[in-house]
């Protein structure tokens, strides 16, 4: 009897263990990266501060204790109110943008290939909404996964881990500096991991595949020049050329007339916002201008706006500034920036098809504007 009971007990435990193992494997399969829905933004929820600027100052103060993260930019976002000509359409809500350098992430991207440095910026945002002050982040792992999906799977997943590690560093800082709920929630636009890796298109035909390098029309080459001598000197010379072109830029008529803004002379001037570099390999610049930033968040607000809250699109504050990459490859310095329809798909897909159609001329106009501003009168 005792032996029988003992055997029954052992058998029961083995079956229980097998059931647990089976359920664990099943759960693991369900949460594997192929099925996980990655958002381009991570939403940390509400933080207990009176204004975006106050929260930003507290977050930045915590950088002293967070190894590997360096401040690049801290400024007020250009809210949708800025391009609302009618005062009745304004709601007075504001946002704040912080751009950071993560040295470990930037180095890992450059080591994989200098072209991947385009995914090397960390961005955090704070914005006001009726329920309080919300904190968001441009999701580093998601961005890396989209940018590097031309790699083979093993190399791809290894690089994605560096994006995930960067996200953890930001979460640690968010928790200690502003007591943000961590981890946050991946927020729309959402894409399954397998779809990102396969570069599946997720909008109508005019956008194309979600990839930077499998279809280089999405991340076009605007300019290239042979390197004569030191590669870092060649990169610096290219930066100087861009600075001169930006200073000389004047918008074309369709750009100038596209939508109202209060100070058209300055609102349409592109300006460098940040600079990051990996010596001898790449320089990542970002550029922006007031009308484009405000109008984009106005578009992102349209389908969700309600009485007294016309600016929900401020939750897209970390979509800006726009990435401009200079990198060394095969003895050349190359200049690339993403096609704006592709960038709208990446960062503003949740605005909806109607918004895309209403502003269907905007991406091409921005492509021309940026090319003119960055490259000048060079014959491409």
Residue 18 lies in a domain: no
- The answer to whether the Cα torsion of 289, 291, 293, 296 is positive or negative is negative
The tokens for 212 are: 């930077």
pLDDT in tens, 346-359: 999 888 778 778 88
Instruction: Give the DSSP letter of residue 307.
Output: T
Residue 21 lies in a domain: no
* CATH number of 357's domain: 3.30.310.70
Query: pLDDT grade, residue 204 (50/70/90)?
Result: low
Residue 329 lies in a domain: yes
pLDDT in tens, 59-72: 999 998 767 899 99
Residue 24 lies in a domain: no
* Of the candidates 154, 121, 122, the residue with the CA atom closest to the CA atom of residue 136: 122
Write out the DSSP string of 86-127.
SGGG-----EEEEEEEEHHHHHHHHHH-GGGGGG-EEEEEEE
Task: Answer whether residue 9 shows pLDDT above 50.
Answer: no
Query: pLDDT grade, residue 260 (50/70/90)?
Result: very high
pLDDT in tens, 79-105: 999 999 999 999 999 999 999 999 999
Query: pLDDT grade, residue 374 (50/70/90)?
Result: very high
Residue with the bigger pLDDT between 207 and 347: it is: 347
Least confident of 10-14, 38-42, 69-73, 296-300: 10-14
pLDDT in tens, 216-255: 789 999 999 999 999 999 999 999 999 999 999 999 999 9
Q: Residue 165: its pLDDT value, please?
A: 96
E runs forming strands in 271-360: 271-278, 282-288, 322-329, 332-337
- The answer to whether the Cα torsion of 37, 43, 44, 46 is positive or negative is negative
Q: Residue 118: its pLDDT value, please?
A: 98
Residues 51-55 have a mean pLDDT of: 98
Task: Answer whether residue 288 shows pLDDT above 70.
Answer: yes
Q: Residue 7: its pLDDT value, please?
A: 42
Least confident of 57-71, 205-219, 287-301: 205-219
Task: Answer whether residue 200 shows pLDDT above 90.
Answer: no
Task: Answer whether residue 1 shows pLDDT above 80.
Answer: no
Residue 328 lies in a domain: yes
Mean pLDDT, the chain, whole residue set:
89
Task: Answer whether residue 325 shows pLDDT above 90.
Answer: yes
Query: In terms of residue numbers, what domain contains 212?
Result: 36-375
Portion of the chain with pLDDT greater than 90, in percent: 77
Which pTM value belongs to this model? 0.90
Residues 144-153 have a mean pLDDT of: 96
Q: Residue 377: its pLDDT value, please?
A: 64
Residues 271-296 have a mean pLDDT of: 98
Interatomic CA distance for residues 66 and 59, integer angstroms: 11
Residue with the bigger pLDDT between 282 and 356: it is: 282
Residues 1-7 have a mean pLDDT of: 43
Portion of the chain with pLDDT greater than 70, in percent: 89
| Cβ-contact 120, 106 below 8 angstroms | yes
Residues 175-195 have a mean pLDDT of: 93
Residue 10 lies in a domain: no
* Of the candidates 370, 339, 334, the residue with the CA atom closest to the CA atom of residue 114: 334
Instruction: Give the DSSP letter of residue 32.
Output: S
Question: Is the bond leading into 123 cis (omega within 30 degrees of zero)?
Answer: no
Residue 28 lies in a domain: no
Residue 30 lies in a domain: no
Least confident of 18-27, 199-208, 225-234, 289-298: 18-27
Longest dimension (CA), the chain: 95
Domains: count for the chain: 1
């Amino acid at each position: 009897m005792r032996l029988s009971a003992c055997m029954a007990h052992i058998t029961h435990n083995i079956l229980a263990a097998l059931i647990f193992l089976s359920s664990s494997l099943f759960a693991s399969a369900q949460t594997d990266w192929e099925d996980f829905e990655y958002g381009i933004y991570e939403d940390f929820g509400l933080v207990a501060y009176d204004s975006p600027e106050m929260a930003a100052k507290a977050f930045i103060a915590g950088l002293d204790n967070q190894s590997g993260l360096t401040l690049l930019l801290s400024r007020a976002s250009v809210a949708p109110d800025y391009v609302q000509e009618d005062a009745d359409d304004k709601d007075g809500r504001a946002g704040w943008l912080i751009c950071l350098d993560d040295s470990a992430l930037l180095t890992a991207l450059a080591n994989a290939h200098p072209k991947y440095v385009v995914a090397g910026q960390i961005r955090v945002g704070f914005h006001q909404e009726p329920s309080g002050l919300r904190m968001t982040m441009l999701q580093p792992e998601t961005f890396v996964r989209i940018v590097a999906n031309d790699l083979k799977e093993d190399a791809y997943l290894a690089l994605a881990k560096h994006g995930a590690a960067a996200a953890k560093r930001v979460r640690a800082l968010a928790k200690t500096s502003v007591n943000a709920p961590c981890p946050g929630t991946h927020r729309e636009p959402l894409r399954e991991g397998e779809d990102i890796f396969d570069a599946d298109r997720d909008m109508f035909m005019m956008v194309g595949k979600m990839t930077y390098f499998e279809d280089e029309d999405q991340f076009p080459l605007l300019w290239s020049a042979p390197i004569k001598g030191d590669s870092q000197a060649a990169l610096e010379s290219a930066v100087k050329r861009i600075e001169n072109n930006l200073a000389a830029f004047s918008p074309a008529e369709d750009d100038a007339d596209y939508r109202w803004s209060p100070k058209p002379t300055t609102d349409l001037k592109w300006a460098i916002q940040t600079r990051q570099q990996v010596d001898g390999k790449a320089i990542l610049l970002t550029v922006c201008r007031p009308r484009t930033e405000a109008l984009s968040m106005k578009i992102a607000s349209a389908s969700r706006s309600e009485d007294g809250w016309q600016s929900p699109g401020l939750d897209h504050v970390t979509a800006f500034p726009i990435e401009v990459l200079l990198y060394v490859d095969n003895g050349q310095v190359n200049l690339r920036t993403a096609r704006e329809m592709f960038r709208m798909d990446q960062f503003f897909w949740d605005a909806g098809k109607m918004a895309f159609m209403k502003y269907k001329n905007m991406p091409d106009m921005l492509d021309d504007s940026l090319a003119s501003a960055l490259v000048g009168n060079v014959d491409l």
